[in-house]
Chain A
Amino acid sequence: MSAHDHSHGHDAHGHGGLQMGHHHISSSAMFLNVLIALLILTGITVGASRVDFGPANMLIAMAIASVKASLVIAFFMHVKWDTAINKIVFLSSFLFLSLLFIFTLSDHATRRLDGELTVRHTNVQYQWTQPKADPNHGKH
């Protein structure tokens, strides 16, 4: 198998290193396209941060970053052409990461905060501490 002609490894779907198994070798043009896309998305990130979308700014910034990350993972890190087990191992880390985020932030969202933190949650605290506002209270 060492006699295999590797010259076609220069095209997008060539195979090199047959001795280590079949490997996808990406074309230089594809890498350049990914780089250009990443640079453009960086520009969009900066541009979007200059506009006030309110709370959506965070979502927009993270959405663009996720697209950039997907490009790096799929193409630069070759995950698109990697084995199923490697894909599962690496991508599952993001699944567990999302669990960490969901439980951490849902704790914050559902917690009755005390002390100085209540400054931002005055209305919430008012509802909690003023049950007497109910007009039917004590009428029966």
Chain B
Amino acid sequence: MSHDGHHSVVIPAPGPEFVPHTVAHHFDTPVQEFQSAKLGFWLFLATEILLFGGLFAAYFYYHEVYPETFRLGGQQLDWKLGAINTTVLLLSSWTMAMGVRSAQTSQKQKTLMFCGLTVVGALAFMVIKFFEYKAKHEHGFVVFSELFAPYDQATGSLAWFKDYDGVMAGVPHGHLFFAIYLTMTAIHGLHVIIGAGLILWIMVGAAKGRFHNGYFLPVDLVGLYWHLVDLIWIFLFPLLYLVP
């Protein structure tokens, strides 16, 4: 205990391949440090739920108003690629959970392996997403080069939505589905990229022996972030690829 604020608590390393953890000086105990960080991170994850929640509300509202637009729009997506990406994310969520467990039980090599596999999953997800976006671009559903072009008031046309083959011509506001599809998957994809970066950062720390049964807080928090990415996708997959 360091109530005088001058002596930090040090958690010893469980073995020669690990390094001790020094509790930040503004915390009295390791438990306080852990619980403070954890509570803060849960608050952050709650804001993430609300961030995506607003987009889900937009989805449900417009799906209610233009069900035909959403059904036809969903059919333009490749549900098989969506299902593969769902499986990839579920597997990576499992490897992440195992990575956290490995850190908790001071298994350095396993921590590195499972975190590495999670990053591979993140990359696989983004590669598949890239090819999906490429196909949407080619059909003119989302023309990325025109994404930020101004709305043409005279013709009422959106530069980023061309629909070259006119498949969405028979339904009102065909662009709506693709606007929501792109916004939701792009913000989700951004989380995948950030998550992969954070896991790489965890791997650097793990390689240095920073994480063990005495201290695994960063691994735990990054794990929670990664599971949230999976959580969001669990809802995105049926809503976008299998539009009910």
**Residues in A lying within 8 Å of B, measured CB to CB:** 2, 6, 9-10, 16-21, 23, 25-26, 28, 31-32, 34-35, 38-39, 42, 45-46, 49, 57-58, 60-62, 64-65, 68-69, 72-73, 75-77, 82-83, 85-86, 89-90, 92-94, 96-97, 100-101, 104-105, 108, 113, 116-117, 120
Asked if A97 meets B105 with Cβ closer than 8 Å, knowing A20-B34, A76-B94, the reply is no
Number of interface residues of B (CB under 8 A): 61
Further 7 A-B residue pairs, CB within 8 A, beyond A76-B94, A89-B39: A25-B105, A34-B97, A45-B242, A49-B238, A75-B97, A97-B50, A104-B60
Which of these, A6, A35, A73, A104, contacts B57 with CB under 8 Å?
A: A104
Which of these, A69, A77, A90, contacts B234 with CB under 8 Å?
A: A69
Asked if A117 meets B65 with Cβ closer than 8 Å, knowing A61-B239, A64-B238, A65-B238, the reply is yes
Which chain B positions have C-beta within 8 A of A28?
A: 98, 101
**Interchain pairs with CB closer than 8 A, number:** 168
Distance, CA A19 to CA B29, complexed state (A): 9
The reply to whether B239 and A85 form a contact with Cβ atoms under 8 Å apart is no
Which chain A positions have C-beta within 8 A of B244?
A: 49, 57-58, 60-62
- The answer to whether B108 has its CB under 8 Å from any CB of chain A is no
Asked if A42 meets B87 with Cβ closer than 8 Å, knowing A83-B35, A97-B50, the reply is yes
Distance, CA A61 to CA B77, complexed state (A): 17
Q: Annotate B205-244 by CB proximity to A: 1 below 8 A, 0 otherwise.
A: 0000000111111000001100110110011011100101
The reply to whether A61 and B242 form a contact with Cβ atoms under 8 Å apart is yes
- The answer to whether B53 has its CB under 8 Å from any CB of chain A is yes
Asked if A101 meets B105 with Cβ closer than 8 Å, knowing A42-B86, A61-B238, A117-B65, the reply is no
- The answer to whether B120 has its CB under 8 Å from any CB of chain A is no
Most-contacted residue by chain B among A26, A35, A77 (CB, 10 A): A77
Residue of B nearest to A38 (CB): B90
The reply to whether A93 and B104 form a contact with Cβ atoms under 8 Å apart is no
Which chain B positions have C-beta within 8 A of A113?
A: 65
The reply to whether B39 and A19 form a contact with Cβ atoms under 8 Å apart is no
CB distance from A34 to the nearest CB of B (A): 8
Residue of B nearest to A75 (CB): B97
Q: List 25 A-B contacts (CB under 8 A).
A: A2-B12, A16-B213, A21-B31, A21-B34, A25-B105, A26-B101, A31-B98, A35-B91, A42-B87, A46-B242, A49-B244, A58-B244, A61-B238, A64-B238, A69-B231, A69-B235, A72-B93, A73-B231, A76-B97, A76-B223, A90-B49, A97-B49, A101-B56, A104-B57, A116-B172
The reply to whether A39 and B87 form a contact with Cβ atoms under 8 Å apart is yes
Which chain B positions have C-beta within 8 A of A16?
A: 104-106, 213, 216
- The answer to whether B194 has its CB under 8 Å from any CB of chain A is no
The reply to whether B61 and A21 form a contact with Cβ atoms under 8 Å apart is no
CB distance from A25 to the nearest CB of B (A): 5
The reply to whether A105 and B227 form a contact with Cβ atoms under 8 Å apart is no
- The answer to whether B163 has its CB under 8 Å from any CB of chain A is no
The reply to whether B104 and A76 form a contact with Cβ atoms under 8 Å apart is no
The reply to whether B65 and A100 form a contact with Cβ atoms under 8 Å apart is no
Distance, CA A83 to CA B31, complexed state (A): 12
Distance, CA A128 to CA B217, complexed state (A): 61
The reply to whether B227 and A77 form a contact with Cβ atoms under 8 Å apart is yes
